Amino acid sequence: MDFLQPTSLSEALAMKAERPDATPIQGGTDLMVDINFDRARPSATIDLNRVPELMDIEHVGSDVWVGAGVPYLRIMRELQSDAPGLCMAARTVGSPQIRARGTLGGNLGTASPAGDTLPLLVAIGATAEVASSERGRREIPVRNFIIRPRHSALESDELIVRVRVPKARGPQQFGKVGQRNAMVISIASFGLAFDLDQRAVGTGIGSAGPVILDAPEANAHVAEVFSTEGLWDSAAPLPDGVAKRFGELVGQAASPIDDVRGTARYRRHALSVLAARSLKWAWNEHRETTKGTRA
């Protein structure tokens, strides 16, 4: 096994182009487990820890660009107001030791539908910027990043550079169901984001299908009720039944399977509950803050 250690993005991309078989390593919290257990024997690893371009957090207009190599711990410290939902999701990843090392680049790179930041990134309409030395940069919506479990839209000469995170334009929520509090792979997970400017709702569903899903009908239902009832302007309490219906529609959008972690029926139910609860929590939080600013 070769160990390659580039110190700039262009060097890293040149190495990846020359050695398409080489496996990038960032925090190692997914890859090292596979190497330790002999499930992966890459011919080479490319250590991305010393590529400064991947460590940046940059605010540009209405977006925050989060480097693929920024660990969760730093996301939680620095992006609380711009990306509250992402911070919530990051806080649920593994344990303090895992959050000190694990990154968005790795969560995307692993391409697991159980990746906990992905539902939230889908809900807010985030995109992954990837690059190759030959073709330069391109953006892939996170929604389309996973093609099937363990397979992403990344070409063999590409690296993930950063993630475009639109700054929060309303309340956000993330929730997951697992077997205990710390360190569990989720049985179902759900991200929700209100966009009060566009008067829209975004969703992302994890661990309940081969890829991360969204629930366009559920989103449209809430947006429509809110428009009919004038909630976007009044910030009045949620009308009866909206949260329940939202939950049902989210459950229907999922395509879960039975596996060791849970049955498809349980997952659908759990998602409905998570979604209904997230909607209530997010909207109540919004009402609290608007009350605060009006007072």
Partner 1 sequence: MKVTLRVNGQTVEAEGVWPGASLLTMLRDDLELPGSKNACEQGECGSCSVLMDGELVCACLVQAGQAEGRDIRTVEGLSGEGDGDVGDVQQAFLDAGGVQCGFCTPGFIMAVDHLLSHEPAPSDETTREALSGNLCRCTGYEKILDAVRLAAERRADGSAVATTGGAQR
Ligand X SMILES: Cc1cc2nc3c(=O)[nH]c(=O)nc-3n(C[C@H](O)[C@H](O)[C@H](O)COP(=O)(O)OP(=O)(O)OC[C@H]3O[C@@H](n4cnc5c(N)ncnc54)[C@H](O)[C@@H]3O)c2cc1C
Q: For binding to ligand X (CB under 6 A), which residues are involved?
A: 23-31, 33, 48, 68, 92-94, 98, 101-103, 105-107, 109-110, 115-116, 159-160, 183
The verdict on 98 binding partner 1 (CB under 8 A) reads: yes
Q: In whole angstroms, how close is the CB of 115 to partner 1 at the nearest point?
A: 15
**Of 57, 67, 121, 64, which is closest to residue 89 (Cα–Cα)?**
121
Report residue 293 as tokens.
Answer: 């600013």
Residues paired with 78 in a beta bridge: none
| Residue for token pair 């639109």 | 166
Q: Which does 39 bind (CB under 5 to 8 A by kind): ligand X, partner 1, none?
A: none
- Least distance in angstroms from the C-beta of 100 to ligand X: 10
Q: Are 85 and 75 within 8 A, CB to CB? A: no
Measured from the CB atom, is 28 or 256 closer to partner 1?
28
192: nearest Cα among 85, 63, 72: 85
Measured from the CB atom, the residue of 109 and 166 that comes closer to ligand X is 109
Q: At what angle do helices 216-229 and 242-253 cross, to 10 degrees?
A: 160
28 to 47, contacts with partner 1 by CB under 8 A? 28-29, 32-33, 35-37, 41, 45, 47
Question: Min. distance of Cβ 177 from ligand X in angstroms?
Answer: 12
Q: Which two tokens stand for residue 169?
A: 């334009």
**Given the complex with ligand X, which of 1 and 33 has the nearer CB atom?**
33
Q: Does position 295 bind partner 1 by CB under 8 A? A: no
∠ CA(20), CA(108), CA(158), 5° rounding? 25
Select the binding partner of residue 2 from ligand X, partner 1, none (C-beta < 5 to 8 A, by kind): partner 1
Tell whether residue 257 is a contact of partner 1 (CB under 8 A): no
Q: In this complex, which beta carbon is closest to partner 1, that of residue 39 or of residue 294?
A: 39
CB-nearer residue toward partner 1: 81 or 181: 181
What distance lies between CA 183 and its chain's CA centroid? 17
Q: How many helices (H) and strands (E) does the chain have?
A: 11, 13
